[in-house]
A and B are shown apart, each in its own frame.
Chain A
Amino acid sequence: KAGVTQTPRYLIKTRGQQVTLSCSPISGHRSVSWYQQTPGQGLQFLFEYFSETQRNKGNFPGRFSGRQFSNSRSEMNVSTLELGDSALYLCASSGGTAGENTIYFGEGSWLTVV
């Protein structure tokens, strides 16, 4: 069974640009959540989607947004990039036989803003 797949793995963007990251959950998982990981702030929860609806949201500015498609795949978008947005963005999915309380992570997308 394939795990959570995130693309791209690495990317470099310029300040002011926008970026879209993609996540394909484990087959059968309907919940997808996103986290930002930085050395200083640790793992910070961004948002969670279930059946194309945002169910939970963390404390991030409106520049950070996401969506989920009918096949449970999810994207997150960051507009007007700032240097501080440089981070590892992790997608996680849950559901299926393991239950919604257990999340499984992808390898992450490394974003560098210059």
Chain B
Amino acid sequence: AQSVTQLGSHVSVSEGALVLLRCNYSSSVPPYLFWYVQYPNQGLQLLLKYTTGATLVKGINGFEAEFKKSETSFHLTKPSAHMSDAAEYFCAASFYTGGFKTIFGAGTRLFVKA
């Protein structure tokens, strides 16, 4: 069965520090991988996605993620955190099962300290 695991339900960083949010997936078939961000009282916004090709993917707001097949990981990073990055982040994987089905990790809430 496919699954997505996010390590750490809460991550706290100082403004200007590196952001690292971890995501691992389990799948018998190659998935498409995504990161979404959710600000309070809003829906989920697509940050970036990996489908095929280059394994380092750049997204919006300075975020990027690297697909590592050997580690079944898709960690999200940003070199320098900004106060506006405080939000909940969801890793997701999409699998084709007669139609694409997307499953989500439990989410990681990012806190940014001044």
Q: List, in ascending order, chain A residues with CB within 8 A of B99's CB.
A: 31, 48, 50, 55-56, 100
Contact B51 A106 (CB under 8 A): no
Task: Identify the stretch in B15-23, B38-46, B63-71 within 8 Å (CB) of chain A at 4 or more residues.
Answer: B38-46
Task: Identify the stretch in B53-61, B77-85, B90-98 within 8 Å (CB) of chain A at 4 or more residues.
Answer: B90-98
Contact B98 A55 (CB under 8 A): yes
Count contacts between A and B, CB distance < 8 Å. 57
Bound: A106/B43 CA distance, A: 6
Contact B102 A105 (CB under 8 A): no
Contact B100 A108 (CB under 8 A): no
Q: How large is the interface on B (under 10, 10 to 19, 20 to 34, 35 or more residues)?
A: 20 to 34
Q: Closest CB-CB distance, B49 to chain A, in whole Å?
A: 6
A 64-114 contacts with B by CB, 8 A: 90, 92, 94, 99-108
Q: List, in ascending order, chain B residues with CB within 8 A of A101's CB.
A: 32, 51, 94, 96, 100
Bound: A92/B100 CA distance, A: 12
Contact A56 B94 (CB under 8 A): no
Q: Closest CB-CB distance, A26 to chain B, in whole Å?
A: 12
Contact A56 B51 (CB under 8 A): no
Which residue in chain A gives the minimum CB-CB distance to B93?
A: A101
Which residue in chain A gives the minimum CB-CB distance to B99?
A: A55
Q: List, in ascending order, chain A residues with CB within 8 A of B97's CB.
A: 56
Query: A42-B106, A102-B32 are known contacts. Are A90 and B101 too (CB-CB below 8 A)?
Result: no
Contact A42 B46 (CB under 8 A): no
- Measured CB to CB, the residues of A under 8 A from B are 4, 6, 31, 33, 35, 42-43, 45, 48, 50, 55-56, 90, 92, 94, 99-108
Q: List 30 A-B contacts (CB under 8 A).
A: A31-B99, A31-B100, A33-B102, A35-B104, A42-B104, A43-B104, A43-B107, A45-B101, A48-B101, A50-B99, A55-B98, A56-B97, A56-B99, A56-B101, A90-B43, A92-B44, A94-B100, A99-B51, A100-B99, A100-B100, A101-B51, A101-B100, A102-B32, A103-B94, A103-B102, A105-B36, A105-B43, A105-B44, A107-B42, A108-B42
